[in-house]
């Protein structure tokens, strides 16, 4: 049984709020009844159930009920393409979809031919039902966007999930007094664990506000600050892009973050150390961590009493992290059972990330092993290292370093609303000088000698990033090479 469900059973008579969204709230008692009712209704449901919906109290009910019913849950990120969702449906053999009315039409083409079912989450109601009797053996399949259209399914069982939520709760000293503010999609494993299972396990409260992150993506950088001021949370998880937007909002308005905050974990991509330091001056207790779905979403995390800038913190207790031939490897109770449809995995997991452990045991992540660049003089560079320096400037939303012309490096720049000058070709030299200055801590051979600026729409049209924002480095490299070839054959102007 998941520890979070065991805690729900223990707290089933509490009448204070367990979860709240913008539409409604549920006490522990009402949540228990709703989960029990849905779990009983899923008794004869197909063994694999997909969940596609916006963050909400109903999403939480569905997550817990599927687990309690002993079924396999497949959370479906709403930012996945229809092709990706179709691929997942076939590979995981999803027989029932739980969804909200916003996503119902997306699933209809997958249902009619093969008799799959769709059930709306709004049809669930927290009415009295038989006592919750959780079944064992529940698992979930986590799909990450990856760099191709056909992501792999990471299979995690109760043992991996229970270890991670317990280790996280202990590491961040989670208590029943915590108020967690959720702004990231629950379909992301880290957000699901931190926003649903850890608060429930310790008897705390989760406030769901997915509109805040959507508003930031639409250019309203003040949305995170407004949500924090309103909800007064103690704990959050953010991606670096949202942390940067929050810092920018505070700077522009000469504000500080709410005193209620005690920990803001940041992960999903490399976070510039300058941004972590800036966040601290603005009252945001930001702590960078590192993990991947294959390792239960968390491997290491900086903490208030164990923080070292430039690292992602010490590994969680019980994990054995070793650097083998420069690669980060992990052994412990969080390692996945394997990829769906492939051989079961046993033993140590090679992450594919390059890194090191310092003398005090703090983990340093250099970048992906398969993304290392080699310049014309044979020197190796992890692009993530340079990219983190570039995005430390609020004018740069995304930066990707790749091979350019004549053995030098080129930076693909996606500017924020503050960086529109990057698209001005008359200011090319000044902007290139600025970008190189941002990389002052890097040697000259690692700095970009050229850059190209694209709008988010142009980058999307070229398919240069995944749905979750990760760079498709091979496509970006080919795009830059095509651009250089087109420049080299441009006819001379007629005098």
Q: Tell me, what's the pLDDT at 144?
A: 79
Q: Tell me, what's the pLDDT at 128?
A: 58
Q: For 290-307, what is the HEC assignment?
A: ECCHHHCCCCEECECCEC
Specify the number of domains making up the chain.
2
Tens-digit pLDDT profile for residues 28-46: 999 999 999 999 999 999 9
- Top pLDDT among 331 and 215 is at 331
**Residue 494 included in any domain:** no
* Of 395, 408, 406, residue with least CA distance to 448: 408
- Top pLDDT among 132 and 318 is at 318
Question: Is the separation of the CB atoms in 419 and 397 below 8 Å?
Answer: yes
- Top pLDDT among 316 and 482 is at 316
Q: State the pLDDT confidence band at 285, using cuts at 50, 70 and 90.
A: very high
Q: Does one domain contain both 270 and 395? A: no
> What is the domain extent for residue 198?
3-365
Tens-digit pLDDT profile for residues 116-173: 889 998 755 555 567 888 888 889 999 976 555 577 899 999 999 999 999 999 999 9
Q: Does one domain contain both 314 and 455? A: no
N-to-C CA span, the chain: 79
**Residue 219 included in any domain:** yes
Q: Does one domain contain both 345 and 390? A: no
Q: Tell me, what's the pLDDT at 492?
A: 45
- Domain boundary pick from 365, 380, 406: 365
For residue 385, the domain's CATH number is 3.30.300.30
Q: State the pLDDT confidence band at 420, using cuts at 50, 70 and 90.
A: confident
Q: Does one domain contain both 344 and 396? A: no
Tens-digit pLDDT profile for residues 65-96: 999 999 999 999 888 888 889 999 999 999 99
CA 330 from chain center: how many Å? 20
Tens-digit pLDDT profile for residues 264-279: 999 988 888 999 999 9
Summarize the confidence of residues 444-470 as an average pLDDT: 89
Q: Tell me, what's the pLDDT at 488?
A: 58
- Give yes or no for residue 53 having a pLDDT over 50: yes
- Domain boundary pick from 344, 365, 386: 365
- Domain boundary pick from 365, 385, 404: 365
**Residue 493 included in any domain:** no
Q: Does one domain contain both 236 and 299? A: yes
Q: Does one domain contain both 356 and 387? A: no
For residue 239, the domain's CATH number is 3.40.50.12780
Summarize the confidence of residues 432-445 as an average pLDDT: 92
Find the largest Cα–Cα distance for the chain. Answer: 87
**pTM for the predicted model, two decimal places:** 0.86
Q: Does one domain contain both 350 and 390? A: no
**Residue 495 included in any domain:** no
Q: Tell me, what's the pLDDT at 136?
A: 82
């Amino acid at each position: 049984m998941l520890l979070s469900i065991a805690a729900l059973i223990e707290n089933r008579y509490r009448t204070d709020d367990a979860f709240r969204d913008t539409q409604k709230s549920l006490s522990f008692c009402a949540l228990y009844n709703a989960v029990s009712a849905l779990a009983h209704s899923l008794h004869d449901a197909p063994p694999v159930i997909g969940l596609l919906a916006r963050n909400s109290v109903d999403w939480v009910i569905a997550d817990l009920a599927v687990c309690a019913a002993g079924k396999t849950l497949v959370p479906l990120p709403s930012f996945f393409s229809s092709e990706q969702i179709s691929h997942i449906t076939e590979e995981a053999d999803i027989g029932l979809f739980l969804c909200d009315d916003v996503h119902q039409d997306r699933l209809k083409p997958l249902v009619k031919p093969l008799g799959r079912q769709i059930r709306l989450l709004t049809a669930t109601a927290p009415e009295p039902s038989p006592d919750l009797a959780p079944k064992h053996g529940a698992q979930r399949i986590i799909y990450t966007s990856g760099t191709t259209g056909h992501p792999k399914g990471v299979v995690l069982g109760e043992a991996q999930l229970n270890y991670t939520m317990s280790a996280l709760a202990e590491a961040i000293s989670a208590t029943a007094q915590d108020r967690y503010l959720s702004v990231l999609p629950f379909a992301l494993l880290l957000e699901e664990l931190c926003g649903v299972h850890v608060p429930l396990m310790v008897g705390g409260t989760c406030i769901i506000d997915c509109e805040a992150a959507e508003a930031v993506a639409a250019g309203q950088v003040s949305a995170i600050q407004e949500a924090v001021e309103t909800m007064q949370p103690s704990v959050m998880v953010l991606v670096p892009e949202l942390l940067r937007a929050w810092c920018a909002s505070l700077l522009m308005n000469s504000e500080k973050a709410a005193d209620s905050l005690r920990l803001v974990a940041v992960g999903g991509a490399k976070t510039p150390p300058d941004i972590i330091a800036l966040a601290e001056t603005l009252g945001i207790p930001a702590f960078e961590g590192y993990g991947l779905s294959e390792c239960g979403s968390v491997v290491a995390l900086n903490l208030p009493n164990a923080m070292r800038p430039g690292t992602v913190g010490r590994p969680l207790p019980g994990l054995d992290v070793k650097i083998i031939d420069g690669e980060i490897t992990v052994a412990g109770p969080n390692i996945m059972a394997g990829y769906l449809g492939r051989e079961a995995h046993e033993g140590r997991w090679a992450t594919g990330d390059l890194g090191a452990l310092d003398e005090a045991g703090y983990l340093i992540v250099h970048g992906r092993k398969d993304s290392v660049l080699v310049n014309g003089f044979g020197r190796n560079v992890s692009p993530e290292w340079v990219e983190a320096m570039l995005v430390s400037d609020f004018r740069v939303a995304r930066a990707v370093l790749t091979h350019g012309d004549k053995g030098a490096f080129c930076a693909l720049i996606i500017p924020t609303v503050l960086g529109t000058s990057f698209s001005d070709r008359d200011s090319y030299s000044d902007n290139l000088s600025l970008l190189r200055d941002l990389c002052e801590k890097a040697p000259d051979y690692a700095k970009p000698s050229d850059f190209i600026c694209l709008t988010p729409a142009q980058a999307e049209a070229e398919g240069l990033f995944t749905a979750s924002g990760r760079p498709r480095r091979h496509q970006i490299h080919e795009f830059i090479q095509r651009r250089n070839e087109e420049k080299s054959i441009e006819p001379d102007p007629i005098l």
